[in-house]
Amino acid sequence: MTRLKDKVVLVTGAASGMGRSHCVRLAEEGANVIALDLPVSEQELNETARQVTVAGGTCVTGFADIRDAQQLKDAAAHGVESLGKIAAVVANAGVYADMGLSWEMTDEVWNRTIDINLTGAWNTVTATAPHLAENASIILVSSTNGIKGGARTAHYSSSKHAVVGLARTLANELGPQGIRVNTVHPGSVATPMILNAAVYAKLRPDLENPTQEDAAAVLASKNLLPVPWVDPVDVSNAVLFLASDESRYITGTQIVVDAGLTQKTA
């Protein structure tokens, strides 16, 4: 309950899926939370704030499209004004959409994913850098697609690999100041990002209206452990470890939470 006692964390993409889970799990361990997301997610962001409060934390919500550096700067400054300096930044917001073959992908589709998943992470770091507490921890959310490629994911896999390069560079630049930077690599996680009809159709092109159960069988076959996906809290526990002093000498590295997906050979 005290691994992050009175520390302030900033989480992007806080209205949904893993972002909400990170906010709540970190609050359970004593953190106060600056929770950011798009204005369109206001209702869901308020629900995250409610759950953080129930978990014992104080939550300040803010709106920012992570593609817009100024919006992020304003939202971070507002949060810090209320809660104090940031001990952990979790650059979590991202999109997984418009999958297709590389040579058929439009510039618009490519640019949107790169702008959100890569430039958004960069903007999150630069907006929060002036507000970091001593020995702060920066956690960039990548993916198993940041470790290996996959057909029809050129934009997504490229963005998630690039986030690793960004984290490794920042770890070099910020290490002398005692600031750590790492990436987290979830496999399939039970969130709205993959639990939706478009992903089920991609996984089961042989079926007319595939269900979650149909998709689960395919996803389970990709993992070493006998599960189709991990839960958001499994990733939040890795984020919590990296945010806490328990990982005080871990920087520039990757933590994979994927039920063995990246290591499966057959």
Ligand X SMILES: NC(=O)c1ccc[n+]([C@@H]2O[C@H](COP(=O)([O-])OP(=O)(O)OC[C@H]3O[C@@H](n4cnc5c(N)ncnc54)[C@H](O)[C@@H]3O)[C@@H](O)[C@H]2O)c1
Binding site for ligand X (CB under 6 A): 12-13, 15-19, 37-38, 41, 65-67, 92-96, 116, 120, 141, 143, 186, 188-189, 191-194
CB of 68 to ligand X, least distance (A): 8
CB of 247 vs ligand X, minimal distance in Å = 19
What's the burial of 118, exposed, middle or buried (CB within 10 Å: 0-12/13-18/19+)? buried
In angstroms, give the least distance from the CB of 32 to ligand X.
20
DSSP state of 65: -
Question: Min. distance of Cβ 59 from ligand X in angstroms?
Answer: 15
Residue whose CB is less far from ligand X, 61 or 92: 92
The full 3-state SS of 228-244, as one line of letters, equals: CCECHHHHHHHHHHHHC
CB of 22 to ligand X, least distance (A): 9
Q: How far is the CB of 117 from ligand X (least distance, A)?
A: 6
- Nearer to ligand X by C-beta: 96 or 200? 96
Looking at the Cβ atoms of 182 and 191, the one nearer to ligand X is: 191
- b/e per residue 210-236 (b: at least 16 CB within 10 A): beeeebbeebeebbeeebbbbebbbbb
Rg of the chain taking only CA atoms, in angstroms: 18
Q: C-alpha angle 18/55/29, rounded to 5°?
A: 80
Please report which helix (H) or strand (E) contains residue 161, including its range: helix 154-174
Task: Kindly tell me which of 67 and 78 has the beta carbon lying closer to ligand X.
Answer: 67
- Do residues 96 and 141 touch, judged by C-beta distance below 8 A? no
Q: Half-sphere exposure of 141 toward its Cβ, with a 13 Å CA cutoff? A: 30
- Helix or strand (DSSP H, E) at 12: strand 8-12
Comparison of 126 and 135: residue with beta carbon closer to ligand X: 126
**For 251, left (φ over 0), alpha (ψ -120 to 50), or beta?**
beta
Query: Looking at beta carbons only, is 133 or 237 nearer to ligand X?
Result: 237
**Which pairs count as long-range contacts for 212-221, CB under 8 Å and 24+ apart, including other chains?**
219/188, 219/194
Torsion 80-83-88-93 (CA) sign: negative
CB 194 within 8 A of CB 96: yes
Q: Is 156 an active-site residue?
A: yes
Annotated active-site positions, please? 156
